[in-house]
Amino acid sequence: MKTQSLAVEARREAKPKNIRERSFAYALRAIRLYQHLQNGKDGAGWVLAKQYLRAACSVGANIEEAQAAESRPDFIHKLGIAQKETRESMYWLRLLAESSIVTDVQLRPLMDETEELLAVLTSIIVSTKRGRAT
């Protein structure tokens, strides 16, 4: 997969409305980025991509776990972990961009989606803490 096609593909993908579906699609994009960077010869890229992949896939896994929460505090806790993993994902994306392993232009759609996921998770957590339906 060419680096430029990563950005084009990301723009073409429609964003699912459901947070579970959206985080699943996000993890799939992380897998594709990881696979792309594994084809390169940059060892730092491999390590950063692996770290990003772990954090990005953990976002959805924790959202799924929240669906089976035993209580409202448990739900909030699990979504809080997903929120932290989303922040970590952004950290790894920023490192990939700032180190020029992948250009900022190529990562921008993925970084934007990371920021949007963070905003949605934050909104759900705040709403749930206030006792409103999500």
pLDDT of residue 1: 44
Residue 9 pLDDT level (bands cut at 50, 70, 90): low
**If you search the block for the tokens 């073409």, which residue do you land on?**
12
pTM of the model: 0.84
Question: In the predicted model, is pLDDT for residue 69 greater than 90?
Answer: yes
Could you state, in order of their start, the residue ranges of all structural domains in the chain? 3-129
Residue 17 pLDDT level (bands cut at 50, 70, 90): confident
Q: Residue 4: phi, psi to the nearest 5?
A: -65, -35
Question: In the predicted model, is pLDDT for residue 4 greater than 90?
Answer: no
**If you search the block for the tokens 């954090």, which residue do you land on?**
55
Question: In the predicted model, is pLDDT for residue 15 greater than 70?
Answer: no
102-127 tens-digit pLDDT: 998 999 999 999 999 999 999 999 99
Mean pLDDT of the chain: 90
43-67 tens-digit pLDDT: 899 999 999 999 999 999 999 999 9
27-47 tens-digit pLDDT: 999 999 999 999 888 889 999
Tell me, what amino acid is at 31? I
- Taking a C-beta distance cutoff of 8 angstroms, is the pair 111, 95 a contact? no
The superfamily in CATH containing domain 3-129 is 23S rRNA-intervening sequence (1.20.1440.60)
Distance CA 49, CA 64 (A): 23
